[in-house]
Amino acid sequence: MPTIDYLRISLIDRCNFQCQYCMPEGADLQYVRQQDWLTRHELRQLLEQVFIPLGFSRFRLTGGEPLVRPDVVEIVEDIAHLPGTQDLAMTTNAFLLSKLASALWQAGLRRLNISLDSLDPTVFQQIVGGPGRSRWHQVWAGIQAAHQIGFSPLKLNVVVIPGVNDHEVLDLAALTLDRQWHVRFIEFMPIGNDSLFQDRGWVDSATLRQRIRERWGLEAGHVLGNGPADVFQIPGAQGTLGFISQMSECFCDRCNRMRLSADGWLRPCLLNETGQLDLKTPLRQGQSLVDLKAQVEQLLAAKPDINFKMRESGTTGAYSRTMSQIGG
């Protein structure tokens, strides 16, 4: 098993988009009340006195949509300046990024993953849902702002949905030709979207690579990151292409991460709620951080067994939250 040193932190369980693959239309979602979010102070306490002493040094801020959280810039500043933080990144849909990119950079954030599932504004709107028709343009403005400020590596995440955006794979891959952007194709998976998944299915990464290879060729690539992507590069391209193959290739044995939800639940596996630990309730009840650290340490020790069971079962586990509520 790899060293477990990477924590994905969900700052908020709600989002200003309603993406088909994440938060299906008509879903009856029960959002966490704001007073039940881990506060900025509580989050800093847990990082300083629990996670960093246990060897965590790499952190990613997620949601829902993290930029919806009112104190997101202050949280970024806190974590970026903690002794022991070696890497801090954020995953965002970029809808609010053009206004916040400069403040996030000044606070200490340097890496971004941005969801961009289509280059066609109409298809994009079909995927992300919600009111309005200018969402693609505002997201694109956020990407441009991040690029101009200097966020690097700048990664663009694409969830490939058959019959919706899979015809755009070559166009999206072409973004890497003359830009130092890193496009990552993610296999569509069934979390909170069972009917859509059953209707559409998924495209495996090997098929996508073959399409790109037939057009330009592919060679091995490299980009800074903490995730499970297999990285390639079009010969001569400035950027890279990543493929996250959680459906066609089990990478449980390579999992180096834990996930902390907005309401303080620590879970060792995205696809399984086995072993999840409530940190917020005992923290607010006055339990010592030394005790909480011991409990987290026990869960870390159990993670390899949880991963092994997931790998052996070949299933997507059992979960009660959608991807938007988990934090991805």
Q: Alpha helices of 130-174 — where are they, by DSSP H?
A: 135-149, 169-173
- Region 283-300: mean pLDDT is 97
Cβ count near 108 (within 10 Å): 16
Cα(24)–Cα(18) distance, integer angstroms: 7
Q: What is the pLDDT of residue 273?
A: 73
| Mean pLDDT, the chain, whole residue set | 89
C-alpha dist (Å) from residue 249 to 74, 161, 206, 246, 252: 38, 18, 10, 5, 9
Q: What DSSP character marks residue 272?
A: B
Spans of all domains in the chain: 6-326
- Region 118-130: mean pLDDT is 90
CATH superfamily of 6-326: Aldolase class I (3.20.20.70)
C-alpha dist (Å) from residue 201 to 193, 204, 243: 11, 10, 17
pLDDT digit string (tens) for 134-166? 799 999 999 999 999 999 999 999 999 999 999
Cα(166)–Cα(118) distance, integer angstroms: 9
Q: What is the pLDDT of residue 168?
A: 98
Question: pLDDT band at residue 192, thresholds of 50, 70 and 90?
Answer: low
Q: What is the pTM of this model?
A: 0.91
pLDDT beyond 60 at 110: yes
